[in-house]
Structure 1
């Protein structure tokens, strides 16, 4: 067994979505010859609510090392836990590499600043390291063009720090190739290092564990309406397609009178129950609390799965970018619900959904074709109703999704790690 140190400031019982990346990698890496050691921050220093049910899903005996962090000040000057625990993580990581004969250090980002520990360890010990892009680091946010604004500073800092972090990396990975392609373009020397894309993997065992915990849905109750669930954060460039969908629903109210779309965990911040992102748009089209319902606060992962299973169908919304991956549809398949999706036509999820008979897709050709969504949505929704009436979960081609299981995704990571070590 080769030892791999995974530095991830958030880990269960944190309820942040990114923890599943490290959790599922660590769960399956031993099957491919890698023994994980998790280096994280103690949960006492997390700002988000804790999810101890998620903690119960961790493998027995998994080695987890925890450090302290500087507390959040009031007023809140520094919230990023990667900054608050940077020196503690760096010190502990160095000690582990020197003592444990660590073969590789793997750093999922964000927190982006933690990636700077990689080159530090490489200089001190010669250990190889890799960075996994769960989100792009150098990113132009709305408002980044306003000089001296918060987003302007963030973009400038990212452009300055990222080259330092990746300078001596042996491996660059990401949820999709588009997440790290810009890194390779900005740092031509990285063409020599190993790269690879791995989507989030679905874990069937997470669904089977729900019965043991006896959890119940609490955001909505079963009724005569056709209830859709969209679970997860809103993609920054998904609001245009969403508005076209609301426009279509508002123009055909009679067709959607017995339909409810529940948006769960779509708020501006994880813990704010009033941080609505969709409410104003729904109100504008007169759909709020009749067809459209939003629960902004992020709820625990297993609670999300319970609500997916309580729903009649799963709603998936991509954006004007083609990065939406089939793995994100896998939760809908595992919940045994039919899927209605609106996706960029270049997304690989389009073909997978249709070929597997898991759902119905409205595909559009990027930002230039957003306006066409309002015309096509009603037609695809009508098609979906017919599809749902004949839907049988056992007839979904599970083999189509095999490559998106957490174990197969981890197999890809292990292969990349072996190449990076060669």
Structure 2
């Protein structure tokens, strides 16, 4: 049995998108010949929301190591609130101890807290252990360089320079790459020619059916977020101006329908929940200003505060219809599409035409998979909203073989196949 040491600063009960791949994969590593251990930051030092229900999905036989981190209330004053920076030296010490005492065949970084990945090159040189990085998002990116300051992430000037400096330290020595988007891998291999021949695989996040059962079992424990007596369309996930191109056509069509047929459409409501990564009560709305531009603030609800993962699943189940807007960045893919598909609720998605999310959605049979530059987008949106308003939207029938293809078990097999290739090429 080969052994992989997984570096995931956020891990249950911390509720963050970037730990989901690891969490959903853990039940399936052993059946593919790999014994997994996880090194996480102690939840006491985590700045992420907590969801204790996530712990129910972690196999009992998985060894989880914890490390400390410097307190954010002190480091944030110096501009370093990121958990990767706060835990860096503790990770170095702990993993040094583990690698000194035990044999591991591979180190696997699966996180968007990328600064900690720099340690991969250090451990590879010191202990001879190869490492794989999971690029769930771009690390260094030029995307925001020409965007207005208001659209740039907080502390963009500083983070841009750190990312541009740190990424090559980790990437030039990496032994394998996994990514949710093929374009991320292409960009990195172009940027760093020395890794052009290393094993790499595009692996999306998988669906994990047990999560739905946990959400339904606990649904009564969650605060209801949707108003009764309305037809509610729901999106739960980050917001941002980069999604306005996908949301605007929906608002425009709805505004026209509302003007022409107010009695028929006045009972529709649009919810955008968890749109900000800021702390509770500190988020700035990014969708509501667009709703106000169209004169729809009465019909659009934006809740910037994030909610727990299982609260999310329960809320999706309570909706009449679901909506996933994509970024105007063609490389963007939404990991959240699988929970949406598992709800079997009517689904409208609008992505950049080049987004890899479109391929998965169409393959699974999602009928209303649109791009915001489609010639007939307004007709398709109008049809969706007409059916929603008249309560005649049918539950989707998805391609079962496609759903199995993208479930967590199969996605884990693809990860371990990549691990095996890395080990074979480093012998």
Q: TM-score, normalised by structure 2?
A: 0.88
Give 1:283's match in structure 2, choosing from 260, 276, 292.
292
Structure 2 residue 394 is the aligned partner of structure 1 residue 391 = yes
| Other structure's SS at 1:85 match | helix
Select 1:262's aligned residue among 264, 268, 271: 271
Which residue of 202, 212, 218 corresponds with 1:213?
218
**Aligned residue for 1:60?**
60
Question: For the residues of structure 2 that align with 1:308 and 1:363, how far apart are their CA atoms?
Answer: 22
> Is the alpha carbon distance of 1:174 and 1:265 closer, same or farther for their aligned partners in structure 2, counting shifts above 3 Å?
same
Q: Is the 8 A contact 1:275 1:296 kept in 2?
A: yes
Change (3 A) 1:349 1:157: closer
Number of the residue aligned with 2:186:
181
Structure 2 match to 1:306: 314
Q: Equivalent residue for 1:338? A: 346
CA contact (8 A) 2:134 2:179 kept: yes
Number of aligned residue pairs: 414
CA gap 1:235/1:104 in 2 versus in 1, 3 angstroms: farther
Structure 1's 56 and 382: CA in aligned 2 closer, same or farther, altered over 3 A?
closer
CA deviation map 1:358-414 (0-9, x unaligned): 44222244xxx7xx6874454342575499736245x43222222211111111101
What CA deviation, in whole Å up to 9, does each residue of 1:314-363 have, x standing for no partner? Answer: 11111223345586322122112111111233344435444544442222
Please give the alpha-carbon distance, in whole angstroms, between the structure 1 residues aligned to 2:120 and 2:40. 15
Report the 3-state secondary structure (helix = DSSP H, G, I; strand = E; otherwise coil) of the residue aligned with 1:56.
helix
Equivalent residue, structure 2, for 1:252 = 257
Q: Contact between 2:7 and 2:107, CA under 8 Å: does it hold in 1? A: yes
Deviation at 1:43, TM superposition (A): 0.5
Q: In structure 2, what is the equivalent of residue 81 of structure 1?
A: 83
Distance, in Å, in 2 between the alignment partners of 1:106 and 1:2 is: 13
What is the Cα-based RMSD across aligned positions, in Å? 2.7
Give distance in 2, aligned partners of 1:384 and 1:194.
47
Q: 1:360 to 1:246 in 2, by over 3 A?
A: same
Change in CA separation of 1:45 and 1:291 when aligned onto 2, cut-off 3 Å: same
Instruction: Say which SS state the counterpart of residue 27 (structure 1) adopts.
Output: helix
Per the alignment, do residues 267 and 125 of structure 1 end up closer, same or farther by CA in structure 2, a change over 3 Å counting? same
5+ residue gaps, structure 2: none
Contact 1:245–1:373 (CA under 8 A) maintained in structure 2:
no
Counterpart of 1:114 in structure 2 is 116
Is there any run of 5+ residues in structure 1 with no aligned partner, and where? none
Q: Is the 8 A contact 2:254 2:385 kept in 1?
A: no
Change (3 A) 1:52 1:151: same
**CA 1:6 to 1:335, structure 2 compared with 1: closer, same or farther past 3 Å?**
same
SS at match of 1:208: helix
**Matched-pair contact (CA < 8 Å) for 2:321–2:388:** no
CA contact (8 A) 2:249 2:372 kept: no
Call closer, same or farther: CA 1:387–1:186 in 2, change over 3 Å: farther
Structure 1 pair 13/144, CA: closer, same or farther in 2 (3 Å)? farther
Residue 234 (structure 1) shift: 2.6
1:133 and 1:179 in contact (8 A); partners too: yes
SS in structure 2 opposite 1:73? helix
- Displacement of 1:228 in angstroms is 1.3
In the alignment, does 2:380 pair up with 1:361? no
Classify the secondary structure of the residue corresponding to 2:265: coil
